[in-house]
Amino acid sequence: MSDFFIGEDPFATERLWLEMYRDEWFSKNVVNTTVISAVDMACWDIKGKTQDRPVYELIGGNVHGDTIRAYANGWYTETTDDPATWQKAAEQVVDDGYDAMKFDPFGKSWQRMDREKFNHSVDIVRAVREAVGPDVDLLIEGHGRFTAGQALEVANALSEYHPTWFEEPCPPDSINSLGKVANKSPIPIATGERLVSKYEFRDLLANTDVDIIQPVIMNTGGITEAKKFAAQAEAEHVSFAPHNPQGPVATAISAHVDAAVPNFMIQDILQMYDVEWVNDLLVDPIVVEDGHIEIPQRPGLGVELDKDVVVEHSYSSVKDEVHTINLFEKDWETRSLVD
């Protein structure tokens, strides 16, 4: 891919995106769109630093004030099959200042659940709602687990606990299944973390009644494309809530985009529930207070890596501890590292 950007003008983000996507013949996959994202976001950082302006000012300006609302993710790593452990963890999230939290109560389910597992998943959601009260947003994560029929049964069972959304209820390889669920679900449907282009988001918005789109800016072409996804959704009065299961640089980038998007809803963040050294990766950590992210104000992306910490935790130094999360194996929720 370097043939498309080495020696090129970093201000030419539209042309660079077009050529990297169009001219690389097999670019329509997440590997290549992630490379495009990296180049695009680096270019926007250069633009901001050259102009001595934060990125959000260059892509439309701030629509939402100095902070953006966030929801807690990754907070349930110490839970067990006992719903009381989910209650305890959820109460801690509220104590940490959040009024919105996302969780997957379905274990390693795939396609359908037996009645015992179904009822147990409902019990977990009930327990969390009882723990946090009526004013906290509960975002139910499906991880693409279910058939359309099972997803609708789940949505109907959970509706009395008033979830804010049901995320990725069906596998992303069937827009028809998702369309059936979105059309009949009593809970708003959120999806999009595994779509990688504006062409896929066009089809999603044209053929389903989803309520929230969740592009991963790191994987879908960067800042240039993220603004386009948001505009596509805005034209359909659909909300924009980027998925962000990544580190603090990704959070900063998402915050800049969120700030300049009129239909922004809420931002995914794991920072408080990530590895212990996550805040050390930046010279000045991202500030998260009372469930809100402060938008970086310095030029460009507004963050700088602490290179020594990056080297200390580079893949080569921790590869024996890396554990790829398999969402269909028992106890994946613990996100445990292996020896």
Output the six-digit token pair for 245. Answer: 């299961």
120 is a catalytic site residue: no
- This prediction has a pTM of 0.94
Q: Is the pLDDT of residue 114 over 70?
A: yes
Residues in the chain, overall count: 339
> Distance (Å, rounded) from C-alpha 273 to C-alpha 281?
15
Better-scored residue on pLDDT, 76 or 317: 76
Q: Is the pLDDT of residue 123 over 60?
A: yes
Q: What is the pLDDT of residues 46-105, one digit of tens each?
A: 999 999 999 999 999 999 999 999 999 999 999 999 999 999 999 999 999 999 999 999
> Distance (Å, rounded) from C-alpha 25 to C-alpha 286?
38
**From residue 136, how far is each of 73, 94, 100, 139, 233 by CA, in Å?**
14, 8, 5, 10, 25
Task: Give the closest residue to 154 by CA, choosing from 120, 195, 196, 203.
Answer: 120
Q: Is the pLDDT of residue 1 over 50?
A: yes
Task: Report the pLDDT value the prediction gives residue 323, as an integer from 0 to 100.
Answer: 62
Task: Report the pLDDT value the prediction gives residue 25, as an integer from 0 to 100.
Answer: 82
Q: Is the pLDDT of residue 321 over 70?
A: no
Task: Report the pLDDT value the prediction gives residue 339, as an integer from 0 to 100.
Answer: 35
Q: Is the pLDDT of residue 337 over 60?
A: no
Q: Is the pLDDT of residue 121 over 70?
A: yes
Task: Report the pLDDT value the prediction gives residue 322, as an integer from 0 to 100.
Answer: 60
Q: Is the pLDDT of residue 281 over 90?
A: yes
Task: Report the pLDDT value the prediction gives residue 148, as an integer from 0 to 100.
Answer: 97
Task: Report the pLDDT value the prediction gives residue 334, as an integer from 0 to 100.
Answer: 82
What is the mean pLDDT of the segment spanning 299-319? 88
> Distance (Å, rounded) from C-alpha 222 to C-alpha 43?
10
> Distance (Å, rounded) from C-alpha 247 to C-alpha 31?
18
Task: Give the closest residue to 327 by CA, choosing from 141, 121, 123, 86.
Answer: 141
Output the six-digit token pair for 117. Answer: 């597992």
243 is a catalytic site residue: yes
Q: Which amino acid, 9? A: D
Q: What is the pLDDT of residues 137-174, one digit of tens each?
A: 999 999 999 999 999 999 999 999 999 999 999 999 99
Span of 39-43, 77-81, 290-294 with lowest mean pLDDT = 77-81
The single residue of 120, 143, 162, 292 carrying the catalytic annotation is: 143
Average model confidence (pLDDT) for the chain?
Answer: 94
Q: What percent of the chain has pLDDT over 90?
A: 86
DSSP E strands in the chain: the ranges are 67-72, 100-103, 137-141, 165-167, 189-191, 212-213, 239-240, 267-269, 288-289, 292-294
Q: Is the pLDDT of residue 132 over 70?
A: yes
What is the mean pLDDT of the segment spanning 284-297? 95
Q: Is the pLDDT of residue 196 over 90?
A: yes
The single residue of 120, 237, 243, 292 carrying the catalytic annotation is: 243
